[in-house]
Chain A
Amino acid sequence: MTKVLMYGNEAIGEAAIRAGCQCYFGYPITPQNELTEYMAANLSRKKGCTFIQAESEIAAINMVYGASLAGVRTMTSSSSPGISLKQEGISYLAACELPAVIVNMSRGGPGLGSIAAAQSDYFQATRGGGHGDYRTIVLGPSSVQELADLTHRAFDLSDQYRIPVMILGDGMLGQMKEPVEFKHEAPAELPLRAHALRGAKGRPSKYVKSLTSNPIELEELNWSLYRRYQLIKKKEVAYEAFQCEDAELIIVAFGIAARIAKGAIKNARAEGMKVGMLRPITLWPFPSEKIQELAKNTKHFLVFEMNMGQMLEDVQLALAGNGEISFYGRPGGVIPTPSEVFRVASRLYCQKGLK
């Protein structure tokens, strides 16, 4: 396979088409428009496929719900304020055990915020986001290549566990061009999930719903979802451990922040400082066990995020006091440089007497 130079947003679109995504529903919002436009150009005229520019993000996620009912692979994308609008629909998808892929190329918040890259939707993404007890699998890519790979993975996971999967990227990843290799060809036949809602042909009629007037029945649904979430936590955790073996200080960062931190780590290593990085790839399920394992050899952790400290809480929960945690964050769409993170890391390294 050859590599092509592509915008992150476009790479998601191409990967989705190659994963057999049949229906895409979007609504314009910066900084993810290139994805919607890519689907308009490349999916709308594809046989059997649908592209709709919906009247709102709310309509788009509910169109996704409809297409998922019909058993096809379907996706929507947006950026932070638009993702807030989709949360009700994501809750319904989770409740009705319907697969769907939701892309958040997040931007600075709160409110209308800024259109610059930020990571301030971590809480919303990893805690369910909408109402009710539910989870979505959340994938945190950190390169254009990974956007493509994880988009494909998102469709597979979503179908396997009948759960909405969110890709939590950011405006920088979406807007940058990098070489990318697509590892899958588009399927000759579009995948169709079994047991879809397509009319009572050759079987009794059925319905898909979450509503019940019996709390015990709803409790059972919650238990059933919980058991599936436990399975996902056991089987689907993914992370990258970068130069952690001898590390005295480990930076924990995800997505584009991890990319920035890697630059800082290279500088630190050049200065003889033993700094490593743990990068969660699945933000939910979170690699808590890996962090606990790392804490056996490393006592100092620096959580670095482009927000005010959200994943920080997951690191605190994972370590449960078995390690010292510092935090550095830049919210609002400010993009820190590798040298800035290096300064923070090296200062910490000296303060803690690691040098």
Chain B
Amino acid sequence: MNKIYARPRLLRKTPFHYCAGCGHSVIHRIVAELIDEMNIHDKAIGIPPPGCAVFAYYYLDVDMAESAHGRGMAVATGLKRANPEAIVFTYQGDGDLAAIGIAEAIHAANRGEKITSIFVNNAVYGMTGGQMAPTTLLDMKTTTSPYGRDAALEGNPIKMSEMLALLKGAVYIERTAVDSPANIRKTKKAIRKALQTQINGLGFSMVEILAPCPTNWKMSPVESWQWVGKVMTKEFPLGLIKDTTGIKDTAGEKDAD
């Protein structure tokens, strides 16, 4: 009998602390699979953020180091420059990357740092209890926008992928979601390409992943997954934002489209 599905080798046997329906577990799994499949385990280093994914090092069997809130890309820059052989990725949330760490994100991208950012956008601060994030949708209620986000008072959702795509140093940026099996496969394909961009030494790469946060959205897991596709993608359209890498898709990945 052929084994066609198993726990990824690089996912530790520690039960996730994530809420039921949370997007992080799926994305962790994808990262663990890719580091194994791409044979970069011996040089991969991850920088998880303060936030729900802060304990990513308890799950991913990969070298990792904590970062101060928002500083993942600066830490990754130092790591990569000191050891150019390494494959360095940050794993960041929307508050981390688009609010407190926006300067580090813009400048790492602009310098064309050969790092990869896995940017998980769930439109709220998750770990601190569902406060408004820079990516919170208009009229969306959070604990710090209890009457709904008002553009006149709180501005509009920030589209990081589109912003960073303006910079020459950013060579591959794609926005995906983990709201369906098809989109999960597309997410894996995108992260694979982002890591390949780094392996090829081409510049900065980022995958923005729309992910559900049922707890803070006050929805059931099923509702939250549906909300990603029905509502979030209207503000944050899925698809390739920028690709100047010239990397061709591998045959095995075609079926994800």
In the bound complex, how far is the Cα of B68 from the Cα of A210, in angstroms? 10
Does A59 lie within 8 Å of B104, measured CB to CB? yes
Residue of A nearest to B79 (CB): A66
Residue B86 CB within 8 A of the other chain? yes
Binary flags per residue of A175-217, CB closer than 8 Å to B gives 1, else 0 = 0000000000000000000000111111011111111000000
Residues from chain A with Cβ under 8 Å of B75 in the complex: 62-63, 65-66, 69
Residues from chain B with Cβ under 8 Å of A50 in the complex: 81-82
In the bound complex, how far is the Cα of B28 from the Cα of A322, in angstroms? 62
A116 to chain B, nearest CB (A): 29
Residues from chain B with Cβ under 8 Å of A65 in the complex: 67-68, 71, 74-75, 78
Residue B42 CB within 8 A of the other chain? yes
Residue of A nearest to B65 (CB): A208
Residues from chain B with Cβ under 8 Å of A205 in the complex: 41, 60-64
A204 to chain B, nearest CB (A): 8
- Which of A59, A60, A66, A202 neighbours the largest number of chain B CB atoms within 10 Å of its CB? A66
Residues from chain A with Cβ under 8 Å of B82 in the complex: 22-23, 50, 66-67, 69-72, 74
Residue of A nearest to B57 (CB): A207
In the bound complex, how far is the Cα of B253 from the Cα of A263, in angstroms? 76
In the bound complex, how far is the Cα of B45 from the Cα of A65, in angstroms? 14
A102 to chain B, nearest CB (A): 14
Residues from chain B with Cβ under 8 Å of A200 in the complex: 41-42, 44, 61-63
In the bound complex, how far is the Cα of B65 from the Cα of A68, in angstroms? 11
In the bound complex, how far is the Cα of B8 from the Cα of A111, in angstroms? 53
Does A207 lie within 8 Å of B65, measured CB to CB? yes
Does A59 lie within 8 Å of B107, measured CB to CB? yes
Does A207 lie within 8 Å of B79, measured CB to CB? no
B216 to chain A, nearest CB (A): 19
Residue B99 CB within 8 A of the other chain? no
Residues from chain A with Cβ under 8 Å of B66 in the complex: 92, 96, 207-211
The contact of A62 among B43, B64, B81, B104, by CB within 8 Å, is: B104
- Which of B43, B61, B71, B103 neighbours the largest number of chain A CB atoms within 10 Å of its CB? B71
Residue A295 CB within 8 A of the other chain? no
Residues from chain B with Cβ under 8 Å of A92 in the complex: 66, 68
Residue B76 CB within 8 A of the other chain? yes
In the bound complex, how far is the Cα of B65 from the Cα of A67, in angstroms? 12
A80 to chain B, nearest CB (A): 21
Residues from chain B with Cβ under 8 Å of A209 in the complex: 57, 64-66
Report the interface size for chain B: residues with CB under 8 A from the other chain: 38
Residue of B nearest to A59 (CB): B74
Within 8 A of B (CB), among A83-135: 88-89, 92, 96
B61 to chain A, nearest CB (A): 5
Residue A238 CB within 8 A of the other chain? no
Residue A55 CB within 8 A of the other chain? yes
- Which of B62, B74, B86 neighbours the largest number of chain A CB atoms within 10 Å of its CB? B74
Known: A50-B81, A55-B103, A199-B44. A206 touches B76 (CB 8 A): no
In the bound complex, how far is the Cα of B42 from the Cα of A202, in angstroms? 8
B102 to chain A, nearest CB (A): 10
Known: A62-B67, A65-B75, A207-B65. A23 touches B81 (CB 8 A): yes
Known: A69-B79, A206-B63. A199 touches B57 (CB 8 A): no
Residue A155 CB within 8 A of the other chain? no
In the bound complex, how far is the Cα of B104 from the Cα of A58, in angstroms? 9
Residue B77 CB within 8 A of the other chain? yes
The contact of A52 among B43, B77, B79, by CB within 8 Å, is: B77
Does B78 lie within 8 Å of A70, measured CB to CB? yes
B70 to chain A, nearest CB (A): 8
Within 8 A of A (CB), among B2-57: 41-45, 47, 50, 54-55, 57
Residues from chain B with Cβ under 8 Å of A62 in the complex: 67-68, 71, 74-75, 78, 104
In the bound complex, how far is the Cα of B82 from the Cα of A22, in angstroms? 7
Residues from chain B with Cβ under 8 Å of A198 in the complex: 43, 45, 63, 83, 85-86
Residues from chain A with Cβ under 8 Å of B77 in the complex: 52, 59, 63, 66
In the bound complex, how far is the Cα of B53 from the Cα of A209, in angstroms? 13
Residues from chain A with Cβ under 8 Å of B43 in the complex: 198-199, 201
Residues from chain A with Cβ under 8 Å of B74 in the complex: 54, 58-60, 62-63, 65-66
Residues from chain A with Cβ under 8 Å of B67 in the complex: 62, 65
Residue of B nearest to A72 (CB): B82
Residues from chain A with Cβ under 8 Å of B64 in the complex: 205, 207-209
Residue of A nearest to B47 (CB): A66
In the bound complex, how far is the Cα of B106 from the Cα of A56, in angstroms? 12
B248 to chain A, nearest CB (A): 27
Residue A64 CB within 8 A of the other chain? yes
Does A70 lie within 8 Å of B63, measured CB to CB? no
Residue A7 CB within 8 A of the other chain? no
Residue of A nearest to B107 (CB): A55
Residues from chain B with Cβ under 8 Å of A70 in the complex: 78-79, 82-83, 86
Residue A25 CB within 8 A of the other chain? yes
Residues from chain B with Cβ under 8 Å of A22 in the complex: 82
- Which of B42, B63, B78 neighbours the largest number of chain A CB atoms within 10 Å of its CB? B78
Question: Can you list 25 residue pairs at the A/B interface with Cβ under 8 Å?
Answer: A23-B78, A50-B81, A55-B106, A56-B103, A58-B71, A62-B68, A62-B78, A62-B104, A65-B74, A65-B75, A66-B76, A66-B81, A68-B78, A74-B78, A89-B71, A92-B66, A197-B63, A198-B63, A199-B41, A200-B61, A205-B41, A205-B60, A205-B64, A209-B57, A209-B64
- Residues of A that sit less than 8 Å from B by CB: 22-23, 25, 50, 52, 54-56, 58-60, 62-72, 74, 88-89, 92, 96, 197-202, 204-211
In order of increasing CB-CB distance, the 3 nearest A-B pairs are: A66-B78, A62-B74, A70-B82
